[in-house]
Structure 1
Amino acid sequence: MKNKISLSVVTALCLTTLSLNAYEMKPVGFKAMGMGGTGVASTRGSLSGYYNPALLRFSDYTAEFSANLGLRLRDSNVIDNVDTLNKIDFETTMDNIATGTTTATDRANIINAQNTLNKIGTNNAFMLSATPSLTAQMSDALAIGVYANLDVGLRLNIDTNHLDLIFDTGSGATGYQYFNPNDGSYTDSDLATYQSSSLEYAINSNNGLTYIQVDTMALVETPISYAEAFEKANGTYSLGISLKPMNLVTSSQKVNLGKSSSQADSDEATYETTYKPTIGLDLGFAYVPRDSGVTFGLVGKNINSPKFKVDKSNTGITEAYKIDPFFRAGVSMSVLDDNAEFAFDVDLQKSDTLILGEETQNIGAGLEFHPSSWFSFRVGAMQDIASEKFDDGTILTTGIGFGLKWAQIDLSAMASTKSGEYDGQTIPRYTALNLSLVSRWGDGYNKKIPEGQEEAHDYENDDSLTFEEKRRLQKDAQRAQDELDKEVK
């Protein structure tokens, strides 16, 4: 018993670093993460295949390539309490209890540990996520990407009815002793009491009383995206589609709190299920009213409810895994003579998470300032309006991109207003970071054409130009005309 609790803390922390798996529509890439998670009406270019393939027709550049790595940590009632348990010298304390040489400090530590375990109970959750991706936009109609959604969900299940220090001394049915941490006394106990209230019994037995639930899921998508635009009297409509081969691996296990981290890690493959690849379908819609800087967007992800059939399972799972459709809407608006953009997104439904019974539904807003092709700055905010376990508060976001147009570095960060503490360090309940390398080619923000050129050619009726080329030229011509008007005034 003396090393069970201390090992449980180590096991929990090690598993969160060795398992990276799960799926939900998380903020991905450089622009969205800095703008409150928005993207359905504002993320154009190479990442359109993830947010809304219809936005390809409104891309700001002829071609764009990006490599992205995002990491996210989300905590509810775990970090603070694990920190408290780590600060208690369990091994020495339990040695002293076993030898009958406890001190006042030992007794205080045990009482603190029991109170902390009672506080944890079952109302807790911890998630660690990674969202690496490689994306390429080859034209104003075609893009391809590889997106990985990798998560681990961890929950401590503490049976608060089994926190008494009753030990099995190995002397048969009567060989049980109860330790009272209030006065340091020992009294005889029995098997029935041991089974009904002992912390040692709850930890050591395989009866599902006190354990760590670890669920993982790795989903890799490779969307091939295409968009087509339609010009009407009231504006431009765009429809986009993403066909995406999908691969899935999951695992689920209950880790005994008394098991060492090395044992738990070596057992991980035993709980893994690999599924056969399948095909998912995303559809996107975008609308830009004529003579406006507003874009409306709507995306439906996995609208065909892709189903994964089991390929290999070490746990006997035979049931197929299905991902339900998910819908999100958004709006964006260019402001400040197209030097900035405002965006707003809302999930139109709740979606499940890797934590059993936990749902999420996000709303977010953000602003990007992009005065030139070599610099951009973003701020935003996001909030989960459906979560019951995670109490993040408002999640604040920011990002900055800089460098040559064809070789830029982009950094983004998200942090919640509510935080916990571990090892003396304050850690936001929700923390996310993203690093991107971006290369863009062709027209971009604020690319001016020579004065008067807008009058030298009728772009609207030039059939040799594509829709996107017309849009770029008209946009740049209007900017140049506005600047000329200012000079005249």
Structure 2
Amino acid sequence: MMKRSVIAAFAILSLCKSGYALEFQAVGDGALGVGGAGVARSDGAMSPYWNPAGLAFAKKTVSVSLTAAAGLKPEKKLAEDIDNLSTTYKAWNNNQSNTTAINNLANAVANVSASDNLRVTANTALGAQVKQFGFGVFGTFEGGAVPHTVPVDTTNPPGSITTSLNNDYVTTRGIALVEAPISYGYLLDVGKLGHVGLGITGKYLYGEVTSENPKIFNNGTVLSSKDLTKDLSRNRNGSSSWGIDLGVMWKPEALLPIPVTVGLIGKNLNAPSFSAKNGDKFNVDPQIRAGVAAEFASWLDVVADIDVIKNTTVVPGLKSQLLGGGAEFHPFQSLKLRVGGYTDLSESGGAVTAGLSVGAPMIYLDIDGAYGLGTVKYDNHSYPSEAKVQCSLNLAF
């Protein structure tokens, strides 16, 4: 009976293997510092987000966590391209008969690739765990932009060039998703195979979405990289839905020489959807993620997560499949140090991560960050290709 329950849980998750979803964000629990891994290591207040099965192995009677994070990912150089367009357009607009100015503008438009994009993420959450139950409010935001341009024919007169430029635009899309979950984790003793936790989450969802197509050139004005992020918060449309998550967590125990945990989570299995004011539909389709955690020593844990399926993002045509992991060192009860990294298997890019926890066993602070190794320009200033920071305040009793 117990084995059948475990097999059934994995079977339900596997039904979603062809689904797509928003990017899986690292929310609280020090996960960002270890490469965004949390599916097999969360057993407290953040379990309703990461894996409700972790509640079956809760170490504390009560835990509470408040977290907030923000990130910018301009690595595909859309922001740099838009600023170049702004500079060259202003030069051409001041002297439309100048051959050099015309050629510079045409080259700037030609350098804009359909694969260029800009992405913004943020999250904030208040999670709580009481024995094997979890609840809270978890909010995530994902926004992005992608360009659509037409080549400039430099042999045309200025009026025709202006008409051509008026066809250039950027698609900006964003979704702010708030989840209010109630989760439960149930522990199964599977004999020599160790222990298995089964978790379920039912949640109320509120989503605010925006979808716009602002022109790059419009009546003598030109879009800037700053305008891209501003457009992500305009003309929002809110609506409600509901979602269901299922999770599994397995601790083989005596089968292995060191403590190991394996986890699997399926989020938003019912594929809720929301609509923008212009009628565009946002599907929050299933996310499937697997994770593993191993305790190599009393002071060293190593963890890793991978998206089992590719997730779509709010950027049209762009997918995400993250692989990340890291190590957490805890030489003292009052101090934890984290290091890791992640990469996107669907797109180029990735980041190194680090973090620390300081405090007492009952109250402690997490600070984590991610830093892209490349360099890009935003608002004519140089920035890392990706940057994220996250802080969490935690209580445990």
Fold shared, TM-score > 0.5 on shorter chain: yes
- The residue that corresponds to 1:395 in the other structure is 351
Q: Which residue of 2 aligns with 1:274?
A: 238
1:413 — aligned with what?
369
Matched, 1:331 2:322: no
Task: Name the amino acid aligned to 1:132.
Answer: T
- After TM superposition, the structure 1 stretch with the greater mean CA deviation from structure 2, 256-265 or 402-411, is 256-265
Q: Distance in 2 between matches of 1:126 and 1:54?
A: 35
Pairwise CA distance, 1:85? 4.4
Q: What residue number does 2:263 align with?
A: 297
For 2:172 and 2:56, locate their aligned partners in 1 and report how far apart those are by CA, in whole Å.
Answer: 42
> Using the alignment, how far apart are the partners of 2:244 and 2:48 within structure 1?
11
Instruction: Answer yes or no: is the 8 Å Cα contact 2:146–2:316 preserved in 1.
Output: no
Q: Which is richer in helix?
A: 1
- AA aligned opposite 2:394: V
The equivalent of 2:310 in structure 1 is 350
The structure with higher relative contact order (CA 8 Å, sep 6+) is 2
| Structure 1 moving runs of 4+ over 6 Å | 261-270
Partner in structure 2 of residue 220 of structure 1: 178
Alignment of 1:250-289 (within 5 A): 250-259=209-218, 271-275=235-239, 277-289=240-252
Percentage identity across paired residues of the two chains = 26
What amino acid is aligned across from residue 240 of structure 1 in structure 2? G
Distance 1:253 1:36 in 2: 32
Q: Which amino acid aligns with 2:78?
A: V
**Which residue does the alignment assign to 1:201?**
163
Q: 1:163 to 1:422 in 2, by over 3 A?
A: farther
Instruction: Give the whole-Å Cα distance in 2 for the aligned partners of 1:82 and 1:341.
Output: 44
TM-score in terms of structure 2 length? 0.83
Distance 2:207 2:339 in 1: 34
Q: 1:201 to 1:130 in 2, by over 3 A?
A: same
Gaps of 5+ in 1: 1-21, 169-193, 442-489
TM-score (norm 1): 0.68
User: Quick check: which one's strand share is greater?
Assistant: 2
Q: Which residue of 1 aligns with 2:383?
A: 427
- Tell me: CA distance 1:164–1:439, structure 2 relative to 1, closer, same or farther (3 Å): farther
Structure 1 residues 366-405: aligned runs within 5 Å: 366-387=326-347, 391-392=348-349, 394-405=350-361
1:114 maps to which residue? 106
2:123 counterpart of 1:160: no
Amino acid corresponding to residue 333 of structure 2 in structure 1: S
* Alignment size in residue pairs: 367
Counterpart of 1:129? 121
**Root-mean-square deviation (CA), in Å?**
2.9
Distance in 2 between residues matched to 1:74 and 1:225, nearest whole Å: 32
- Report the Cα offset of residue 216 of structure 1: 1.6
CA distance in 1, matches of 2:115, 2:227: 26
Aligned residue number for residue 176 of structure 1: none
Q: Counterpart of 1:156 in 2: which secondary structure? A: strand
Q: Which has the larger radius of gyration?
A: 1
Matched, 1:35 2:27: no
The AA in structure 2 aligned to 1:440 is A
> 1:346, CA displacement in angstroms?
1.3
User: Displacement of 1:351 after TM fit?
Assistant: 1.1
- The 8 Å contact of residues 30 and 411 in structure 1, kept in 2 or not, is answered as no
Question: Could you list the runs of 5+ residues in structure 2 that have no partner in the other structure?
Answer: 1-20
Q: 1-side partners of 2:212 and 2:45: how far apart? A: 37
Aligned to 2:81: 81
Distance verdict in 2 for CA 1:287–1:161, change over 3 Å: same
What is the identity, as a one-letter code, of the residue corresponding to 1:203? L
Change (3 A) 1:265 1:361: closer
| Residue 66 (structure 1) aligned with residue 65 (structure 2) | yes
Amino acid at match of 2:137: V
- Contact kept in structure 2, 1:77 and 1:123, CA below 8 Å: no
Which residue in the other structure is 2:52 paired with?
A: 53
Please state whether the residue corresponding to 2:188 is helix, strand or coil: strand
The equivalent of 1:211 in structure 2 is: 169
Q: Deviations over 1:55-109 (max 9, x none)?
A: 12223433221111111211212233344445x37546523x15x7x6xxxx655
Secondary structure (helix, strand or coil) at the match of 1:31 reads coil
Distance in 2, matches of 1:314 and 1:89, equals 34
Contact 2:91 2:101 (8 Å CA) reproduced:
no
- Amino acid aligned to 1:120: V
- For the residue of structure 2 that corresponds to 1:434, the secondary structure is strand
Letter of the 1:333 counterpart: A
Deviation at 1:125, TM superposition (A): 0.6
Match for residue 272 of structure 2? Answer: 306
Partners in 1 of 2:232 and 2:329 — Cα distance?
A: 46
